[in-house]
Amino acid sequence: MTSKGKNVLILLGGLWHDFDGFTSAMQSLLKPHGFQVEATYDLYSLLHLEEGHYNLVISYTCFSPHREGLNDTSPERLTDAQFESLANWIRNGGAFLAAHAATVIGESDAALGELIGGVFVSHPPAFTFSVHPVFGEHPITMGIEAFTVHDEFYMETHTSAVQVHMVAFDRGLAYPMVWSKTEGQGRVAHIAPGHSREVWDLKPYQQLLLQTIYWLMKQKISD
């Protein structure tokens, strides 16, 4: 990793999502802030994070079993070697954002869910809901008020290691939508909303992404 650098690797792959659309949205958001953005479907890139001098890895993946009768070639999991390389990179000071379906870990080892801080359980058909910041100041949610999205409502487990920053409500229950955690010398965050451009283009969502990314990288937006 390069000190104060802004080199980003977006990790893609799996099922059910517009991976290229997400990449395009992130490039449009991040490049004006001086980020160098690279995207890949090659999960073996995780074995070479140090050589790539990356400062941030964003995972926009959705690991799922192959659909019966179809010629699916999408990844179903991270290999043990890929996971260990990612985990060691984070613990040595790396910054990792698990975006939207990255908590769908498929056949990956359960340790991936522990690293992220939680695992996807289910979601109903997309509907309109509001995402609310929780009480207490944090750089991730500074200046962000509740905002409304039409999106998949992710219901996820989360570990005691995470700090929840935003929640959404369904039938009287609150579900975590944004959380963060430390991992060794590194930082991890998860933002659950983000299935489509309808969400990616929202100004509050973009502010949330940027503030999360800068917090992960231990930088200020003015850097």
Tell me if 179 sits within 8 A of 117, measured CB to CB: yes
Give the global pTM. 0.95
The pLDDT of residue 2 is 43
Architecture category of domain 7-216 in CATH: 3-Layer(aba) Sandwich (3.40)
Mean pLDDT for the stretch of residues 78-101 = 97
- Residue 212's Cβ-count burial label (10 Å; 0-12, 13-18, 19+) is buried
- Residue 140's Cβ-count burial label (10 Å; 0-12, 13-18, 19+) is buried
Distance, in Å, from the CA atom of 74 to the CA atom of 72, rounded to the nearest integer, reads 6
Length of the chain: 223
Percentage of residues of the chain with pLDDT beyond 70 = 96
Distance, in Å, from the CA atom of 208 to the CA atom of 116, rounded to the nearest integer, reads 18
Distance, in Å, from the CA atom of 39 to the CA atom of 22, rounded to the nearest integer, reads 10
pLDDT higher than threshold 80 for residue 7: yes
* 176 SS3 class: strand
Q: Map out the domains of the chain as residue ranges.
A: 7-216
pLDDT higher than threshold 90 for residue 3: no
The model's confidence at residue 222, banded by pLDDT at 50, 70 and 90, is confident
Mean pLDDT for the stretch of residues 94-104 = 97
The pLDDT of residue 72 is 74
Pairing of strands 36-40, 7-14: parallel
**Per the structure block, which two tokens stand in for 128?**
């309109």
pLDDT tens for each residue of 48-77: 999 989 999 999 999 988 666 666 778 888
The model's confidence at residue 191, banded by pLDDT at 50, 70 and 90, is very high
Distance, in Å, from the CA atom of 73 to the CA atom of 66, rounded to the nearest integer, reads 7
pLDDT higher than threshold 50 for residue 1: no
pLDDT tens for each residue of 133-174: 999 999 999 999 999 999 999 999 999 999 999 999 999 999
Distance, in Å, from the CA atom of 36 to the CA atom of 7, rounded to the nearest integer, reads 5
